[in-house]
Amino acid sequence: MNKKHLVQFLLLDENFDGAVRATLDNWNGLAYRIPRLRLNDYADRNELSFSGVYLLFGKEEATDEDAVYIGQAQERQVGGSILNRLSEHNRSPSKAFYNEVVFFTSATNSFGPTELCYLENQFYEMAKSSGRYVIKNQEMPSPGNVTESRQVELDRYIENALILIRGFGYRVFEPKVSKESRKEKAEDRRFFLTRMIHKKYRVQGEAIWTADGFVILKGAVVCMENRPGILPSMVNRREQLVERGVLVKEPSGLYRLKEDQIFSSPSSAGSFVLGSSVRGTTEWKTADGRTFAEVSGEV
């Protein structure tokens, strides 16, 4: 039987697009989701002076990819905690990307520096493993040195935090392709693209059609030559992935993809691999030769 959870959302602005306080039944943790423009409106809320871990959400300007920064905020003698920390961030050009913050704390304000380091590190590691978001942290947070028993408690806290952050609409910790989908052998969900470049080099990719979009699996061989029809946003995305070491140059001059990448359509996925404008619905084919258009009913 699937485990059920009772989640309570308190809308502080009369609608779900504004600030929201979230809790789970029989859990002493709590979370806030607050738009950046409304942060100062909640300076008098006592829970926002507690110690906790926060995530800044926004977009990467060059590529329009989802981006996140993960940090911690400790209670201060002058008060403020998360709000003071964000005020510092707001003066930094590197944090200009975010438009919303999610803050996790405990109802009893029980997190010390060691617990905060552990939570911050675990959130960072999960976000990195997921690969859905560009991570804006320049360094990996220290994991701290928690006791074994306290780690068990914090891991339970993280399990509940994952429920709430999904309830807030963020999938920052979820893999692009679930373990179940990756193992799935359904012929109408896996697609392949292969083409010879300059009659010499073979570019190729394997993708899975998921509920979230069209996911190119790591290991794809990509042509980085930008040819007619490729959109500037795709050029930027590919260049950013090279800078981050996600696309790595091989002796052939082609590039190999080191992490799964999700796209809104087969055409954008094909453009990513081939470096040109592509009709992805006919370029991507199943192992038995059917095009995406045939499988999806677009013909």
114, part of any domain: yes
Strand residues in 127-200 grouped as ranges (E) = 134-135, 190-197
Task: Note whether 140 and 28 are same-domain residues.
Answer: yes
Task: Note whether 51 and 162 are same-domain residues.
Answer: yes
Distance from C-alpha of 224 to C-alpha of 12, rounded to nearest angstrom: 48
Task: Note whether 232 and 106 are same-domain residues.
Answer: no
Render the burial of 37-64: b for 16+ CB within 10 Å, e for the rest: eebeebeeeebbbbbbbbbbbbebeebe
Q: 164 pLDDT band (50/70/90 cuts)?
A: very high
Task: Note whether 91 and 30 are same-domain residues.
Answer: yes
148, part of any domain: yes
Average pLDDT of the segment spanning 223-250: 93
Distance from C-alpha of 270 to C-alpha of 119, rounded to nearest angstrom: 38
Task: Note whether 26 and 157 are same-domain residues.
Answer: yes
Residue 183 clears pLDDT 70, i.e. is over it: no
Q: 171 pLDDT band (50/70/90 cuts)?
A: very high
Backbone angles phi, psi at 68, to 5 degrees: -145, 145
Task: Note whether 59 and 200 are same-domain residues.
Answer: no
Domain tally, the chain: 2
- Residues 281, 292 contacting (CB under 8 angstroms): yes
Task: Note whether 189 and 236 are same-domain residues.
Answer: yes
The domain in which residue 28 lies consists of: 7-167
Name, in order, each residue with C-beta under 8 angstroms of 118's C-beta and a sequence gap of 6 or more.
143, 144, 146, 151, 154
Average pLDDT of the segment spanning 38-55: 91
pLDDT at site 153: 95
2, part of any domain: no
pLDDT at site 185: 53
Residue 299 clears pLDDT 80, i.e. is over it: no
Residue 77 clears pLDDT 70, i.e. is over it: no
Average pLDDT of the segment spanning 49-71: 92
Angle at 110 between CA 106 and CA 112, to 5 degrees: 120
Name, in order, each residue with C-beta under 8 angstroms of 89's C-beta and a sequence gap of 6 or more.
56, 69, 71, 95, 98
Task: Note whether 22 and 162 are same-domain residues.
Answer: yes
47, part of any domain: yes
Angle at 8 between CA 2 and CA 13, to 5 degrees: 145
Last residue of a domain, one of 167, 192, 208: 167
173, part of any domain: no
- Residues 256, 263 contacting (CB under 8 angstroms): no
Residue 117 clears pLDDT 70, i.e. is over it: yes
285, part of any domain: yes
Average pLDDT of the segment spanning 114-121: 96
Amino acid at 296: S
pLDDT at site 219: 96
Task: Note whether 73 and 96 are same-domain residues.
Answer: yes
Mean pLDDT check: name the lowest of 41-45, 110-114, 269-273: 41-45
Last residue of a domain, one of 145, 167, 189: 167
pLDDT at site 76: 66
Average confidence score pLDDT of the chain:
90
Task: Note whether 158 and 186 are same-domain residues.
Answer: no
> How buried is 25 (Cβ within 10 angstroms: 0-12 exposed, 13-18 middle, 19+ buried)?
exposed
Amino acid at 273: V
pLDDT at site 36: 93
Last residue of a domain, one of 147, 167, 187: 167
1, part of any domain: no
Q: What share of the chain is helix, strand, coil (3-state, %, to 5)?
A: 30, 25, 40
* pTM of the predicted structure, to 2 decimals: 0.77
Task: Note whether 154 and 184 are same-domain residues.
Answer: no
Q: Over pLDDT 70: what percentage of the chain?
A: 93
197, part of any domain: yes
Task: Note whether 148 and 52 are same-domain residues.
Answer: yes
pLDDT at site 15: 81
Residue 181 clears pLDDT 70, i.e. is over it: no
Residue 64 clears pLDDT 90, i.e. is over it: no
